[in-house]
């Protein structure tokens, strides 16, 4: 099944952001990382587990009337490091953005270990997580060295 066919499952948006090539089944996590939940006022379309030539299966999210910022992209890098982001203006792709998961994720999420020094919210240094490996994703806190579980980490988005 073609990518074009899968995109037709939801209508084109006039203005906003399309996040494509999200790993299959990760779309809800992506929304959580972006802070887009049920209380969000912007229309959001979401398709999950659609066939993809490149990935086998993938998820797609379309957020209307909202353009993702770099900080939001940084958050996305943890759950969908190879996603493609397109900013849509007047039904056309105005910008294509690429997400790169670097060797460190700074001030995006807080370490999940309850006895880490960074749990004192008054401490001013940035929250830093080291990316040890991308596939499988293996992340450790820069300070306490504890491995981070992604499901727990999502609850600690700053």
Partner 1 sequence: MAGLITMDDLTNEQIINILDDATRLLPVAKGELYLPLLQGRILGNLFFEPSTRTRMSFETAMKRLGGEVVNLGDVKNSSVVKGETLFDTIQMVDGYTDIIAMRHPRQGAAQYAQDSARVPIMNGGDGAGHHPTQTMLDLFTIRQAHGTLEGLRVVLAGDLRYGRTVHSLSHALTRFGCELIFASPDILKMPSEIVSDLREHGANVVETNDLLGSINDADVVYMTRIQKERFADEDEYTRCAGAYKLHADHLGDVKSEMIIMHPLPRVDEIHASVDSTRHACYFNQAFNGVVARMALICYLLGVTVPADVESEGGAF
Chain residues binding partner 1 by CB under 8 A are 111, 113, 115-120, 122-125, 141-147
Write out the DSSP string of 44-89: EEEEEEEEETTTEEEEEEEEET----HHHHHHHHHH-TT-EEEEEE
- For 4-24, give the DSSP string: HHHHTTS---SSEEEEEEEET
Residue 5 phi, psi (nearest 5) = -65, -45
| Residue closer to partner 1, measured from CB, 43 or 145 | 145
What's the min distance (Å) between Cβ of 106 and partner 1? 12
By beta-carbon proximity to partner 1, the closer residue of 38 and 124 is: 124
Tokens 């203006």 found at: 89
Pick between residue 11 and residue 115 the one whose CB is nearest to partner 1: 115
Min. distance of Cβ 149 from partner 1 in angstroms?
12
Q: How far is the CB of 147 from partner 1 (least distance, A)?
A: 7
Give phi and psi for 140, each to the nearest 5: -130, 150
Among residues 41 and 115, whose Cβ is nearest to partner 1?
A: 115
Cis before 49? omega within 30: no
- Smallest gap from residue 154 Cβ to partner 1 (A): 21
Mention every residue, 6+ apart, whose C-beta is less than 8 A from residue 121. Answer: none
- Pairwise CA distance, residues 61 & 86, whole Å: 11
Of 12 and 117, the one with the shorter C-beta distance to partner 1 is: 117
* Min dist. Cβ of residue 142 to partner 1 (A): 7
């Amino acid at each position: 099944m073609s990518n074009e066919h899968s995109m037709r499952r939801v209508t084109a948006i006039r203005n906003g952001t399309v996040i494509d090539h999200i790993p299959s089944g990760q779309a809800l996590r992506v929304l959580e990382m972006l802070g887009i939940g049920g209380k969000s006022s912007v229309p959001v379309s979401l398709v999950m587990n659609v066939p993809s030539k490149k990935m086998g299966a993938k998820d797609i999210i379309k957020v209307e009337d909202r353009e993702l910022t770099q900080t939001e992209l940084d958050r996305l890098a943890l759950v969908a490091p190879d996603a493609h982001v397109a900013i849509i203006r007047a039904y056309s792709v105005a910008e294509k953005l690429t997400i790169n998961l670097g060797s460190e994720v700074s001030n995006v999420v807080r370490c999940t270990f309850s006895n880490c020094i960074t749990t004192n919210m008054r401490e001013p240094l940035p929250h830093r997580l080291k990316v040890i490996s991308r596939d499988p994703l293996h992340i450790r806190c820069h300070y306490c060295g504890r491995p981070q579980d992604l499901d727990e980490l999502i609850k600690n988005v700053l």
